Structure 1
Amino acid sequence: MTVLVLVVDDEEDVEVLFRQQFRRDLRAQRFAMDFAGSAAQALTRIADTGEQTLILILSDINMPGMNGLDMLPEVRARRPDVPVIMITAYGDAETRRTALDRGAKGLLTKPIDFGQLRQVIESRLGPTA
């Protein structure tokens, strides 16, 4: 069974960046990455992951329509088993507190430290991956 990391961000270049950073892992099929361009798309995607096991959700905070902070309680209610890491250009204390209060397991600031993100993904994959 394939494990899945879902990335939620309205910026189109995010998918290219993530696929480039994790190209070896994706090519080796250690995990799959899927991308949602909005909170609504993400909520639809987490409802049906098919044969894939969702292990992590990475979500931008600032998006048109429903933002990541508003999406977070919905995701936590539907998939309490899947940790959510919020991504933001603003790493201020209030944003961090709000994200954690709404159920985020962590917060990454932009530009993303992909070494740190890799450690988060590795911890979710576990020792057998």
Structure 2
Amino acid sequence: MSVYILVVDDEPDVEALFRQQFRRDLRAGRFLMEFAPSAPVALQRAAEIRDATLILILSDINMPGMSGLEMLPIVRAARPDVPVIMITAYGDQDTRRKALERGAIGLVTKPIDFTLLRQEIDSRLEAA
């Protein structure tokens, strides 16, 4: 069974960063990472991966067009089984509150602490 993590970010260097940080996991086949450059593309991918193999969505908040916060309630309604963690450069209390109210299970601030993110992914893998 292939297990997916969907990363949503409009910055092109984010994919290279995540692939580098999780290269051992990806090579070992522990999980697959898919990357969406926008919220609409992410919503389409979340709908296409219809079984339990989509275990986590990591989404930037600030993106052109539809923001991560605007996408959040839509993806949570369509895929209530998939937890979402928001990523932001602005970890203020108002942003955190909005993300949690709209259905995020957490908020990660940039620069990303990949040790903490790895722990979250490991717990999702165990649950799957």
TM-score in terms of structure 2 length? 0.97
Structure 1: runs of 5 or more not aligned: none
> Could you tell me whether the CA contact under 8 Å between 1:60 and 1:86 is conserved in 2?
yes
Cα distance in 2, alignment partners of residues 86 and 50 from structure 1: 21
Q: CA RMSD in A?
A: 1.4
Q: Kindly report structure 1 stretches of 4+ aligned residues shifted beyond 6 Å.
A: none
Which residues of 2 match residues 22-101 of structure 1 at below 5 A? Answer: 22-49=22-49, 53-101=53-101
Which residue number corresponds to residue 19 of structure 1?
19
* 3-state secondary structure, aligned to 1:87: strand
Which residue number corresponds to residue 110 of structure 1?
110
Count of residues paired in the alignment:
128
The alpha carbon displacement at 1:49 in A equals 1.6
* 3-state secondary structure, aligned to 1:126: helix
Structure 2: runs of 5 or more not aligned: none
TM-score in terms of structure 1 length? 0.96
Cα distance in 1, alignment partners of residues 26 and 50 from structure 2: 18
